[in-house]
Amino acid sequence: MGFSTSLQGQSSHEALLARQDAEIKLLETMRRCLTIKVKSDREYATTISSLTMQGKKIERNEDLVGSLVVQSWRDIMDSIDQTAKLIKQQADSIEAIVVEHITTLYSERRRARKIYQEEQTWLNNQFQQLTDDVARKKLEYQKNLEMYKLMRSRFEEHYVKSGRVGRKLDEVREKYQKACRKLHLTHNEYVLLLGAVTECEHDLRTCYLPSLLHRQQAIHQEFITSWKTILQDIVKYSDFTTDKFQEIHRRMQKAVDSVKPVEEYRDFIGKHRTRPASPIRFIFDENLVDDTSGKLLPNKLTVDNLTIDWLRNRLTELETSLKATQQNRQNPQYPSENNSDSKISILDYSREREELRLRCQEKRLQRQVDVIRAALNELGCEELPLGYDLSMESSFTDSPSISKKNTVADIGLFTLRRNQRFMTIFRSPFKSLPLINDTKDGTIRSSSEGPTSKADNTLQVAFRGISHLTTNQKGNGNGDLMEEEWFHGVLPREEVVRLLVTEGDFLVRETTRNDECQIVLSVCWDGHKHFIVQTTPEGHYRFEGPTFPSIQELIRHQWLSGLPVTSRSGAILKTPILRERWELNNDDVILLEKIGRGNFGDVYKAQLKTCKTEVAVKTCKVTLPDEQKRKFLQEGRILKQYDHPNIVKLIGICVQKQPIMIVMELVPGGSLLTYLRKNASTITQQEQLRMCKDAAAGMRYLESKYCIHRDLAARNCLVGYESIVKISDFGMSREEEEYIVSDGMKQIPIKWTAPEALNFGKYTSLCDVWSYGILMWEIFSKGGNPYSGMSNSQAREKIDAGYRMPAPENTPDEIYRLMLRCWEYEPEKRPHFDQIFTVVETLSQAYL
C-alpha cells in the first residue's frame, strides 16, 4: 500500500496537501518552542551560577577551618555549578544544531509542497487539454457536417429541377463535392486525434501520475528520517544525570524510536485511500455519421479518391516526425544531474516529463502511421485509377458513368469488409489485440504480449479441450458446460459485475426469467453487457452470427474470432474470467440433515463428497430475488479472506446451480445462547471469562480488518470443540471503517445496537463494542434476555436517558466495569477491542 496506488484521486491529492501544511505548521511550532527553551535554560543556568558563587562566600570562615560540614557544602555548590554549566552547554547545542536543522527542514518542506502542487496542476492541465482538443475537433466536425448537409440538399434540389445537365447543376455539384471532401478530411482527423489522445491519457494516468506519487512518498519518508534525527538530537541534549531526568529520557527515547518513516503514512493512506484514477474515455460520437448513408463509419478511416492524396501526404509527414522523435528518444539531451543534493534531484521532474512527452509523441505518431498504412495497403490505393468518385452516394448515380464509379467503390469496400484482420484493426484502432492461434496439440496460446494477453496456462484452463469440441462434444448441447472454468453457474448478476473489471473480460452464467432457464454471456464492455444465448429450432446455439451445436463451440468462436457479440453492442471477448477457487460444485456437497433456519433459507449438516468432511451449509431460497441472493453471498465474500481460530471458517460457495449454498466449517456445539441456557447449572466463572476472551479475540481480529459485524450477540456465536467460541453470521457485516445505513432499520437488533447506530444509522467498530458489552451480559447471565420486560422502543428511550442494565449475579466487579465502559453513550469513550482483549485476558489469568 503506497502513494502511487492508493492516492490517485482528487480527494487524496487535497488530503496530501493538507497533510503537508500540517507538517509545516508543526515545524514552526517546534522551532518556536525550542527557541523559548534555549532562552529559559540559559537564564536558569545563569541564576544557578550566581547562586553557587553566593553559596561559596562563607562568613567567619576562619572559625570553621577543618569542618566536614563546610567541605560538604562546598562540594554541593561545585556540583550545582557543574549542573548549570551542563545545562548551558546543552542549550547552546540545541540552538546551534537542532534549531538550525528545523529551520532548514522547514524551508525544504515548503519547497517540496510547492513543487508537488505545481506538478499536480500541470498534470490536471494536461488531462484538460486532451479533453479540450477532442471537443474542438468534434465541434469542427459538426460544422463541416452541417455544411455537407446543406450542399447535399442544394444538389438534390437542382438535380430534380434541372435534370442531369446544366451549368448551375455543375456548380452545385462542385460545391457539394468540396463540402464532402472537407467533411471526410475532418472525419479522419477526428479518428486519428481520438487514438492519439487515448495514448497520451493512458501514459499520463498509468506512468506519470504513479511516478509523481511514488517520488512524493520517497520525499516524505526522507523528510521523516530527517525529522527523526532532529528529535533524537533534542533527546540527546536534554539528557540529565539524576534518576528523574534519566526516567524522562528513557520515555522520550522510546517515543523517538517509535517513529518509523516507512510506516509514517500508513494510517494516512488508509484513511484517504481512493480508487486508481479512472481512464478518460474518448468515444467516437456516432451521431455525427447518422446522415452520411453509411459512407462514414465510426472509428474507421474513409479511404477514397477524396482522401487518398491527403492520407499519402499525411503518412509522409507522420513518418518524418516519427523518425525525428525516435532519434530524440535514443539520444536524449538531459542536463547533468546534481548528485550533491539528493533532495533537489528527487524533486526535479524534468527528465520524466521530457521522456513522457517523447514517448507519448512517438506512440501518437506510430499509431496514426499504422492505421493509415493498413488502410492504404488493404484497399490497394496505390493502384486505384484516378477519377473514380468513391464518395458519391448511390441515390445520385443514375448515369452509366456514375454507376461505373459506384461499382469500383463497392469492390473496394467489399475488399475491406472481407479482410477480417483489417476489420479487426478498424474496430479497435486504439488497442493492441492479441493474435491467438491453435497449436498442433490443440492448446490455445497467445502470440503477443499485448495488454490483454494472459499466460498460456490461464488460457489452457479457460478453454481446456475446446479446440477438440468438433470430435468430443458435437451434439452434446450444454451438457458439459459446468466443466468449463469460465462457467459460473447461477452466480447473481451483481456478483458477475464485481468480477468483470477490465474491458473485454467475460464469463458465462445461468439465469431464470419467467420460469425459463437461460444461458447468459456477460461482458465488460462500455459498462457491463449481458447477452442471452439464442437457441435455434434445430437445437443449435448462436448470438447474431453462425450457429453451433454446443455453447462451448459458440463461445470459442466468439472469443477467437475477435468479432463483436452483436453489431449494435460492439462487445468483443478478450479475457475469460475463471471461477474463483472458493466456488465449489453443488454436486460435491451432500446434504445430510436440517439443523436450523437462517434469514435466507435452511441450514444443513452436510458432507463433502471428495474428503468425507462434515460441514455446515447455508442455503438460499430459489425464489428470492437477485438482490437478496447478493446479500446472501456477501457473507461468503467477507468470510473467505478471514483466518482466525475464533472466526467461523468458510470452505466455499456453490453457485453452479440452484440452490445457492455457503459451505462453512461445522461447529458441533451449536449457538452460544443455546449452550449457555442448556448448561446454566454447570458453567463456571472461569469458563465465562474464557468465552468473553474468545469473543474479544475474534472481534479484535475483525477490527484490524476494518470489518463491522453489526449483529454481534450470543445467538450469532458458535461453540466448538473444547468450548471454544467462534464469531459467526456475517450477513449484516460491512468491510468499512464507517458505514451509514440508508435502507431503514427493519432487521436491526435494537437491544444489541449502539445508540448512534439507532439514532443516526452510523456504524463503526465502536458499535460492535457496545454489542460486545451486551454479549458479556448474556454470558454472565447464562443466556438471559437483555432489558427483560421492556419493549424495543422502551429500551431505546431508557438507554438515551442514561439507564444501563445492572450486573448479573456473581459477575466480577472488573467485568461489570468493562461492560459499563462498552456502554458509554459517546462512542469515542468506549475501549477498542485490543484494549478489551487485554483486560479480559488479564482477568482470565487472575481467576485461574
CA angle 466, 467, 472 (to 5 degrees): 70
**All cell numbers assigned to 811:** 459477575
Q: Consult the annotation and say whether 597 binds a ligand.
A: yes
Contact yes or no for 585/542 (Cβ under 8 A)? no
Contact yes or no for 490/657 (Cβ under 8 A)? yes
Strands 505-513, 444-446: pairing is unpaired
User: Which residue, among 258, 140, 264, has the nearest Cα to 190 in the 3D structure?
Assistant: 140
The residue whose grid cell reads 443466556 is: 783
**All cell numbers assigned to 666:** 461445522
**DSSP 3-state of 502:** coil
Q: Consult the annotation and say whether 618 binds a ligand.
A: yes
| Strand partners for 650 | 664
Q: Consult the annotation and say whether 244 binds a ligand.
A: no
Q: Consult the annotation and say whether 601 binds a ligand.
A: yes
Q: Consult the annotation and say whether 663 binds a ligand.
A: no
CA dihedral angle for residue 817, residue 820, residue 822, residue 823, rounded to 10 degrees: 180
Q: Consult the annotation and say whether 37 binds a ligand.
A: no
The residue whose grid cell reads 454481534 is: 712
**All cell numbers assigned to 692:** 468473553
Q: Consult the annotation and say whether 780 binds a ligand.
A: no
Q: Dihedrals φ, ψ of 218, to 5°?
A: -60, -40
Q: Consult the annotation and say whether 520 binds a ligand.
A: no
Q: Consult the annotation and say whether 479 binds a ligand.
A: no
Contact yes or no for 642/738 (Cβ under 8 A)? no
**C-alpha separations of 839 from 704, 815, 833 in Å:** 18, 9, 10
**CA quadruple 202, 205, 206, 208: dihedral sign:** positive
Q: Dihedrals φ, ψ of 602, to 5°?
A: -85, 160
User: Which residue, among 422, 447, 427, has the nearest Cα to 436 in the 3D structure?
Assistant: 447
Q: How far apart are the first and last CA of the chain?
A: 43
Angle, to 10 degrees, between the axis of helix 167-203 and the axis of helix 350-379? 140
**All cell numbers assigned to 537:** 429450432
Q: Write the DSSP symbol of residue 204.
A: I
Distance CA 766, CA 822 (A): 8
Contact yes or no for 152/177 (Cβ under 8 A)? no
Total Cβ atoms within 10 A of residue 429: 22
**CA quadruple 454, 458, 460, 462: dihedral sign:** negative
User: Which residue, among 591, 585, 728, 716, has the nearest Cα to 652 in the 3D structure?
Assistant: 585
Contact yes or no for 275/205 (Cβ under 8 A)? no
Q: Consult the annotation and say whether 426 binds a ligand.
A: no
**All cell numbers assigned to 507:** 464469463
Angle, to 10 degrees, between the axis of helix 420-427 and the axis of helix 350-379? 140
Active site members: 711
Helix locations, 57-99, DSSP H: 68-93
- Which residues are part of a known binding site? 595-603, 618
Binding residues for ATP: 595-603, 618
